[in-house]
Amino acid sequence: MQQYTITIHGGAGTILKEDMTPELETGYKQGLEDALNAGFSLLEKGGSALEAVLAATRSLEDCILFNAGRGSVFANDGSQEMDASIMDGKTLMAGAVAAVRHIRNPVELAYTVMTKSQHVLLIGKGAEDFAALHGIRTEPDEYFFSPFRYEQWKKMQGTNEAALDHNVKLVDKKFGTVGAAACDRYGNIAAATSTGGMTNKQWGRVGDSSIIGAGTYANNKTCAISCTGHGEMFIRAVTAYDVSCLMEYKDLSLQEAMEVVVHDKLMKIDGEGGMVGVDAKGNAAMVFNSEGMYRGIRSSSGISDTKIYK
Amino acid sequence: MQQYTITIHGGAGTILKEDMTPELETGYKQGLEDALNAGFSLLEKGGSALEAVLAATRSLEDCILFNAGRGSVFANDGSQEMDASIMDGKTLMAGAVAAVRHIRNPVELAYTVMTKSQHVLLIGKGAEDFAALHGIRTEPDEYFFSPFRYEQWKKMQGTNEAALDHNVKLVDKKFGTVGAAACDRYGNIAAATSTGGMTNKQWGRVGDSSIIGAGTYANNKTCAISCTGHGEMFIRAVTAYDVSCLMEYKDLSLQEAMEVVVHDKLMKIDGEGGMVGVDAKGNAAMVFNSEGMYRGIRSSSGISDTKIYK
């Protein structure tokens, strides 16, 4: 029988137990559980992998602890600019947005780009106009305001530094991104990724989360992958698609291919981070080269787990 | 002895001899010759592949006949928004910009992102601020104004249609992009791509020209590739990096890998267009699945040619 599975992440980096409070750890775990529930319950009911990754990613975007959607970090000008992408492994269709503001769920906008436009990638004000045309829900600045993120930004404001992290203490070594990969009862797979980017980012910097092939990729023939890490390195390494190529052209398994990319290819260019992925048989893997990665997995075979540290 | 080579393109699509005037054909050929001269003369003097693709792409951007830089098409709002990218096969460093206005040579800005920032991709107003900081040359609207492009846009204005083409007559089947790939005396390779996008484009649409892995890729181990075509399909197929993977993981030659991607992978998703590429031995190839592709090649082995049709 076809196994169905979902795996999610909420970012990777120098996440150390000594820096965590029990309350915060419980909060992160709950955020991961909520996302697994949102995605897996759809798979159980016969929903598609695409619907599952959309629901799980939306759930993570709604949790203020993760750097995506509601919990997005502040850019250099005090705004929140978000990126997201989604890909359907059955059709190889994809949608993505970059540098959008006030969108409650950027992953939903990416899905709408995929399903309601001829395009793959829309950016900035233009993408927001497209969102308005399609009734995508927006929120005022207050919705995205968290005292924690604001303090984090204030500390960097006026500098040219940008942090990939969403934790002030570990400012240079955490990568705030969320994402999901799923395989449904029919053997179709999909992946989605969403981020609020780097704290204090400027110059319209865009990372890998909105780049098909880098942050997100899905193809029923191989795998569905969502990445989190130092975006520039993931773009240069074409990370998500590299896993697919190693499976398609070198016959590596999902786990093997992810390990080559994360522990060898990325390490060679100091690319810190990780990824979650599935194949069309419902196998899943979660691989990272950083201290920790917020992650979770649930499968029809009975596996259900959330983890933070190595 | 190490062979050095440069190959360039000025876009692909339904380019038919019966639609061309002798004057226009001479103009296109001259634009291609000028770009080959600009790039190859540097290679002869011992310049790097990176310098050569930068010079050749800049030359194509300066020619008003090609849809990039000066000759960029009009977007839906009457502006010219340009995308470009560049990658160095020796270091795997890359730079890219999307949706920038008034920049005389977007490929130069992409190069500056690569060499003067920690980032790979900068977009919109932020990228323009970065350009100003680094003294990148800008031009007023008049510089980018061509009566031909303006007429082309006026015909589509007020519609929701967007054309990938820069020719009114063949509006739905030409892909205006320029690019270059080169191999230098030292066996280093590089690639660059630049475009003015789709006529009447809206919603901040971005194609493959600024996406590393899709429109541009370079790696000394395999190949340097610059693509032109229906950008959405090239993004979904991760086109440029797929050529590299077929060489690295399946031991295909440059020509074989490009043919698989252009004639098989892209055709399966109706992805019309083509690409030019080199490997680190100085072999070059130009492959397309459309009626024509403006293209040129020059090599230390004595080859020198420009072509338009099949």
A260 close contact with B: CB closer than 8 A:
no
What CATH number corresponds to the domain at position B233? 3.60.20.30
- Cβ atoms of residues A169 and A128 within 8 Å: no
What pLDDT tens digit does each residue of chain A (310 aa) get? Answer: 899 999 999 999 888 888 888 998 999 999 999 999 999 999 999 999 999 999 999 999 999 999 999 998 888 888 889 999 999 999 999 999 999 999 999 999 999 999 999 999 999 999 999 999 999 999 999 898 877 777 777 777 777 676 654 444 434 446 789 999 999 999 999 999 999 988 888 899 999 999 999 999 999 999 999 999 999 999 999 999 999 999 999 999 999 999 999 999 999 999 999 999 999 999 999 999 999 999 999 999 999 999 999 8
pLDDT at B169: 44
pLDDT at B170: 39
Q: Which residue of A126, A130, A238 is in closest CB contact with B213?
A: A238
- CA-CA-CA-CA torsion sign (B258, B194, B123, A58): negative
pLDDT of residue B307 exceeding 70, the answer is yes
A20 close contact with B: CB closer than 8 A:
no
Provide the percentage of residues in chain B whose pLDDT is more than 70: 95
CB contact under 8 A, A129 and B202: yes
Decide which of A16 and B211 is more confident.
Answer: B211
Give A7-26 pLDDT, tens digit per residue: 999 999 888 888 888 998 99
Decide which of B73 and B60 is more confident.
Answer: B60
Count: domains in chain B:
1
SS3 assignment for A161-199: CCECCCCCCCCCCEECCEEEEEECCCCCEEEEEEECCCE
Tell me which of A177, A193, A195, A216 is the catalytic residue: A177
Kindly state the tokens that stand for A151.
């303090």
pLDDT at B174: 60
Calculate mean pLDDT across residues B87-116: 98
Q: Which residues in chain B are closer than 8 Å to A120, comparing Cβ atoms?
A: 231-232, 235-236
Give B249-289 pLDDT, tens digit per residue: 999 999 999 999 999 999 999 999 999 999 999 999 999 99
Kindly indicate the confidence band of residue B75, based on its pLDDT and cuts at 50, 70 and 90.
Answer: confident
pLDDT at A263: 98
Query: What is the domain extent for residue B88?
Result: 5-309
- Cβ atoms of residues A47 and A38 within 8 Å: no
Only one residue has tokens 């990126």, namely: A83
Q: Which residues in chain B are closer than 8 Å to A246, comparing Cβ atoms?
A: 249
pLDDT at B163: 64
Calculate mean pLDDT across residues B180-196: 98
Query: What does the alpha-carbon distance between residue A14 and residue A162 come to, in Å, rounded to a whole number?
Result: 16
B129 close contact with A: CB closer than 8 A:
yes
Q: Which residue of A has its CA nearest to B75?
A: A126
Q: Which amino acid is at B93?
A: M
Only one residue has tokens 């839906």, namely: B76
Calculate mean pLDDT across residues B133-153: 87
Q: Which of A205-219, B37-51, B85-99, B150-164 has the lowest mean pLDDT?
A: B150-164
pLDDT at B166: 42
HSE-CB of B204 using CA atoms within 13 angstroms: 22
B63 close contact with A: CB closer than 8 A:
no
pLDDT at A175: 74
Q: Which of A186-190, B69-73, B212-216 has the lowest mean pLDDT?
A: B69-73
Query: What does the alpha-carbon distance between residue B184 and residue B77 come to, in Å, rounded to a whole number?
Result: 41
Give B264-273 pLDDT, tens digit per residue: 999 999 999 9
CB contact under 8 A, A236 and B122: no
Q: Which residues in chain A are closer than 8 Å to B94, comparing Cβ atoms?
A: 235-236
Q: Which residue of A117, A232, A250 is in closest CB contact with B118?
A: A232
- What ipTM, to 2 d.p.? 0.94
Q: Which residues in chain B are closer than 8 Å to A213, comparing Cβ atoms?
A: 211, 213-214, 235, 238, 241
Asked about A177 being catalytic, the answer comes back as yes
pLDDT of residue B101 exceeding 90, the answer is yes
pLDDT of residue B234 exceeding 60, the answer is yes
Q: Which residue of B121, B122, B204 is in closest CB contact with A126?
A: B204
CB contact under 8 A, B231 and A120: yes
CB contact under 8 A, B238 and A217: yes
Give B79-99 pLDDT, tens digit per residue: 889 999 999 999 999 999 999
Torsion of CA A91, B229, B17, B57, to 10 degrees: -170
Query: What does the alpha-carbon distance between residue B192 and residue B39 come to, in Å, rounded to a whole number?
Result: 12
pLDDT at A300: 98
